[in-house]
Amino acid sequence: MLARALAIHTGHMPHVPTTFITGAAGFIGTELVKLLVTRGHRVVGLAESVDAAAHVRRAGAVAVMGTLLEAGQWQDEAAADWVFHLPAQPAWGLGLSQRRAAAIAADRLAMDAHLLDAVAAGSTRRIVYVADASVYGGAVGQRPITEDEQAAPSTWGRCLAPALDRLEGYIVAGLPIVTALPGWVYGNGSWFRDRVIDPVLAGRHVLQVGTHGPWVSPIHVHDCARALVHLAEYGGIGRRYFLVNSDPVRMHEFVGTFARLANRRLRVWRVPKWIARLVSRSILDDDLHSDAVFSNIRLRGIGFQFRYPTLDQGIEQILGAIDE
């Protein structure tokens, strides 16, 4: 209090860091807003609807209306100390024709241009660009791949790859971009709420494809948000970082572990892989049925430590906050 009073008296108030977040009303974006607010940041979140704006404000940020697909006044807010770019992903249940894949890729390029061109002339210290580990495809079995290996994108990853390639030009032009590539982000919301928490607690059957499901690399949503902030502080400009736990899990372990720790009976409706592939029309089919294991050595190499390093620890946290 004395230091603040002295600062007011002398006219030298401490700098309040400003942060701009796209996708601030989303699953990861909301967690990121809350984390940054607790760290004393003035956070501005881009919202595309009145409901999204209300959600952003409840999380503690200032909401600015606009869409990444169109230039607008929101771009004036983008020249912050830190910028986190988390464009929303398309809906799960939509099929992917060649025309739709091309439209998604073009939209992503347009969204990136509207944001990155707006901050090009500013004093932004770090831009954390959030893509998806699916741009690398995955590894067969438990052998993790690293950020230096050649990408072999999944179906969804191919929609993101052109935008990721375009980043190189912005980096050469001097933008301080760090790229984050999260794995399977789980927590009390989004797909985990819809496909794990709600059906298990309600005693409904859970759909599972195959016997075990593919190997995947998870990360708790709070650790994902913490890792994004860590990249803003310590990430190398022009570098890519997988945001994943050290130990991969089978896809079916998400629901099995939740049911076990919640002390609930697990009711499963199991479908053979070939039937699921025949009837499914999801844009994420490759990611739901293929191994995707990634290394976090580079993230740990810049000092990041996980708060929930195992699936059991992460789900214990979810159970403790299930009513939030």
Structure confidence by residue, pLDDT tens digits, 278-300: 444 444 445 556 788 999 999 99
> What is the model's pLDDT at position 123?
82
Does residue 12 register a pLDDT over 80? no
Does residue 70 register a pLDDT over 50? yes
Task: Please check whether residue 269 is in contact with residue 207, taking contact to mean a CB–CB distance below 8 angstroms.
Answer: yes
Higher pLDDT, 102 or 235: 235
Kindly indicate the confidence band of residue 24, based on its pLDDT and cuts at 50, 70 and 90. Answer: very high
Q: What percent of the chain has pLDDT over 90?
A: 67
> What is the model's pLDDT at position 14?
63
3-state secondary structure of 167: helix
Question: Could you say which DSSP state residue 25 is in?
Answer: T
Contacts of 207 (CB under 8 A, 6+ apart): 269, 271
Kindly indicate the confidence band of residue 8, based on its pLDDT and cuts at 50, 70 and 90. Answer: very low
pTM of the model: 0.90
> What is the model's pLDDT at position 210?
64
The region of weakest confidence among 158-172, 252-266, 292-306 is 158-172
Structure confidence by residue, pLDDT tens digits, 298-312: 999 999 999 999 999
Higher pLDDT, 3 or 9: 9
Q: How far apart are CA 137 and CA 216, in angstroms?
A: 11
> What is the model's pLDDT at position 90?
63
Q: What percent of the chain has pLDDT over 70?
A: 85
> What is the model's pLDDT at position 230?
98
- Mean pLDDT (whole number) for 162-189: 95
Kindly indicate the confidence band of residue 3, based on its pLDDT and cuts at 50, 70 and 90. Answer: very low
Q: How far apart are CA 324 and CA 321, in angstroms?
A: 6
Kindly indicate the confidence band of residue 201, based on its pLDDT and cuts at 50, 70 and 90. Answer: very high
Does residue 189 register a pLDDT over 90? yes
Residue 88, both tokens? 């929303």
Structure confidence by residue, pLDDT tens digits, 41-59: 999 999 999 999 999 999 9
Q: How far apart are CA 244 and CA 289, in angstroms?
A: 18
Question: Considering the chain, what is the average pLDDT of its residues?
Answer: 87
Q: How far apart are CA 68 and CA 113, in angstroms?
A: 9
> What is the model's pLDDT at position 142?
74
Kindly indicate the confidence band of residue 276, based on its pLDDT and cuts at 50, 70 and 90. Answer: very low
- Taken in order of first residue, the domains within the chain and their CATH numbers are 2-186+218-247+295-307 (3.40.50.720)
- 301: amino acid identity, one letter: G
DSSP secondary structure string for all residues of 237-279: TT-EEEE--SS-EETTHHHHHHHHHTT----EEEE-HHHHHHH
Higher pLDDT, 131 or 13: 131
Q: How far apart are CA 116 and CA 87, in angstroms?
A: 13
> What is the model's pLDDT at position 7?
41
